[in-house]
Amino acid sequence: MHPENRDNETMTKGVERMKRFVCGFLCLCLLWTGLSFAAAENEEIPDIPEIPEETGLSDEEIEEIQELDADEPIERVTGKVYPVPTLADFDMSSPAIYTCTISYNRPYIYKDTDPNMKNYAYKGNGSIKGVEVLYVGLRWMIVRKDKVIGYVWRQWVDKQSIEPVDPVNTPPFNVQKHAYIAVTAKACHVRKNMSFNEGEEDDGNNYVILNPGTKISIWQMYEGWAVVNYMREYGYIDPNELTDLRPVAPTDEELFDDCPIAAYTSYYKMVQNKTNISRIHNIAVGAKLVSVVLQPGEIFDGNAIMGPYGRRKGYEEAPVLIDGKTVPGYGGGTCQVSSTLYNAVLQLPGLKILKRRAHGGGGASYLPIHCDAAVGTDELNFRFQNNYDFAIRIEGCTSSDGALSMRIYKVH
């Protein structure tokens, strides 16, 4: 049709339709090709993000992605579990581990960890300074302020304000040293409590069942059970389902040849849909790429080693975080690789962290609150330097069955 055959009103409408089409197309391109895999930090507890209609995804695909990004619910596990400290275990004479400032948008010290309870024991005016930290849990900390003892969400702590009371003997904030490594000898049940029904493969008491030959690390042994981190809860493994159980060196001095000096394991969901299967694939690609040797003085750069995050590197499309929204993108899952490695690196004082940023809100749900390290852009990267006088070897291990383990060894 020739323009001269249109009247001015029709032409104007056509131009407006074209503008809307171009804008929508550009938005779609940015969402599908963006490399920003994590949200800028904000301190609100995030809701499951809504995905704009411009992505062109089906309702089923949107539901899949939102399900993968959702935090694990706080589960009231019944049965025998590791005795996590409560307020009853502390009083005014209990020694503090750190001092800090509680800030951000909710400067509250709560009376209970029940998310449905709104009451609090102490409230600051924008921030609460001089808070004593008595215990650091996976989600909550137990703190003391002005003769009040209560709970605080981990993400509400101003990380720049954290000071150890005993700098010599206190590990850095966020450190959780894993004490053992092992390999699964058979189908290995990561259980919700320290009990099981004999002879039943899946009795409903499992977070995940690992395949034989999976490498894991263990936080500690408790009453004959191996205690591990599963998302933001503790899981329990019968040692009879493990083999090659060995200690991790408590310091950077090996206990024996080929003894890891640090180890950490995180877990991922085994939902069998296309988006999550691609995420599991990307975790395996990333774990292989970060398995490198770092010489004295050498710098580990997550984006340089795992990127560029595209098809040519072997990645598939999987859920990523862009500007606080979960959308498909190449390399989704690599943040879990960098985050798991971050938790192993934290255990070694000779590895200096140069750049690290958590995801927004409470951080990635597969780790304790704010124990993650996002990658994907210049702003979001995980970098550290080997300041030891010996080389280190990083070993990333995953069997694509729910567990991702990072081990760090000395190189002789």
pLDDT in tens, 332-374: 999 999 999 999 999 999 999 999 998 877 788 899 998 999 9
The pLDDT value recorded for residue 72 is 56
CA distances for 144 relative to 24, 110, 398, angstroms: 51, 11, 40
Question: What per-residue confidence (pLDDT) applies to 382?
Answer: 98
Sheet containing strand 215-218, edge to edge, reads 215-218, 180-184, 242-247
pTM: 0.81
The two structure tokens encoding residue 64: 């899949």
Predicted pLDDT at 77: 63
pLDDT at 40: 29
pLDDT of 330: 84
What's the confidence (pLDDT) of residue 35?
35
Which parts of the chain sit beneath pLDDT 70? 1-78, 115, 118, 197-203, 321-326
Cis ω on the peptide bond leading into residue 171 (within 30° of 0)?
no
